[in-house]
Amino acid sequence: MQLDMNYSKQRELILYEIKKSKCHPTAFEIYNELKPGNPALSLGTVYRNLKLLSTENKIIKLATPSGPDRFDGNTDEHYHYYCISCSKVCDADDIKASDISKIFNNPKQKIVGYELNILCICEECNKNNIDVSNYK
């Protein structure tokens, strides 16, 4: 059996943590979750491995409209809601890629990619009547 020369137990733990999470964690959240059971883990190691995992398309790096990047273990094409009040990120399961692609159906241009940020007030913030009148 030949071992992958790039194998790293810490990378495996980071990947597992992201895949099991549905909340799209930040690097710091991943670090805080893994650190108690892995005292040798450093925040720099988390950042390096997140960069590598996203470069290898094993995870998705989500650049949020405000706040730190978040990471998603679901690499299938899908979209996200970003709460402008609490910065929560969640999957937009009700929006299908086929619906979005209709917007870009222009025979004069060849679309090679796009980013879609759906800004919202999440259900919890909406229930709590959070004031977002100052949002720009």
At 95-110, the pLDDT tens digits run 877 777 777 777 777 7
Domain ranges of the chain: 9-127
Exposure b/e, 65-94, CB count within 10 A at least 16 = b = eeeeebbbbeeeeebbbbbbbeebbeeeee
Report the chain's mean pLDDT, rounded to a whole number. Answer: 85
Q: Is the pLDDT of residue 72 over 70?
A: yes
- End-to-end Cα distance, the chain: 56
**What DSSP designation does 37 have?**
G
Do 42 and 27 meet the contact criterion of CB atoms below 8 Å apart? Answer: no
pLDDT band at 36 (very low <50, low <70, confident <90, very high): very high
pLDDT of residue 70: 95
Query: 89 pairs with which residues across the strands?
Result: 82
What stretches of 1-121 show up as alpha helix (H) in DSSP?
A: 9-20, 27-34, 43-55, 97-103
Q: What is the CATH number of domain 9-127?
A: 1.10.10.10
SS3 annotation, 71-101:
EECCCCCCCEEEECCCCCEEECCCCCHHHHH
For residue 11, which amino acid is it?
R
At 40-68, the pLDDT tens digits run 999 999 999 999 999 999 999 998 877 89
